[in-house]
Amino acid sequence: MISDNSVIKDIFKDLDFNDSEIKIIESVFKKLSIEKGTKLLNAGDLADRQYYILKGCLRAYHVDTHGKEHTVQFGIKDWWISDYTAFFSNEKAIMNIEAIQNSIIYSISKEGKDELYTKIPKIDKFFRIKLEKAFATFQKRILANLAQSAKERYIDFITTYPNIEKSVKNYHIASYLGITTESLSRIRKDLSK
């Protein structure tokens, strides 16, 4: 449950709500304070929640059959994170989600979102726009992974997400870029010249 209306304003920027709408929103969100290293989701679990990040940093990653981690998404302040493939298809999770910093998040279930869509239609539009932007971002990332060099991908990453680089470990960044930590070190050394 949300106990601070300013958090509702943080989550739903540019939307105004009356008192009854605020009560509905408060009833479907659950505030969680989680410590670094906490796993919110394990591959194979039911992925029935999305998380809004108020503070901290999380990552969603997949572990392949060889045990190698592939970071798919980082989540920092004002971002949403989940295993969206599993969330929208009602399948078991293929990703893990962990806190890589102490974090404060707000969790909402699929049923809670559906309730908001029904009772407060402007929230439906809000999430649709968020999803459209996220889809476009993921598509750009796929194209970058197919067409750009590792150095170009790293430059794009630090240009687009300067706050994330400061928040995560080198091996997480390397995993996100699809390279080894040694390659990341070489790229950074190259760029510092």
CATH of the domain at 71: 2.60.120.10
Q: Which domain holds residue 60?
A: 5-120
What are the tokens at 164? 């994330």
> What is the rounded distance in angstroms from the CA atom of residue 106 to the CA atom of residue 103?
10
Into how many domains does the chain fold? 1
Going by the DSSP 8-state scheme, the letter that residue 168 receives in this structure is S
What are the tokens at 184? 């990341």
* 172 in a structural domain: no
* 138 in a structural domain: no
Which residues of the chain have a pLDDT value below 70?
Answer: 1-5
Residue 193 pLDDT: 82
What are the tokens at 176? 């996100």
* 173 in a structural domain: no
* 86 in a structural domain: yes
Residue 149 pLDDT: 94
* 40 in a structural domain: yes
> What is the rounded distance in angstroms from the CA atom of residue 144 to the CA atom of residue 140?
6
Residue 168 pLDDT: 87
> What is the rounded distance in angstroms from the CA atom of residue 50 to the CA atom of residue 111?
11
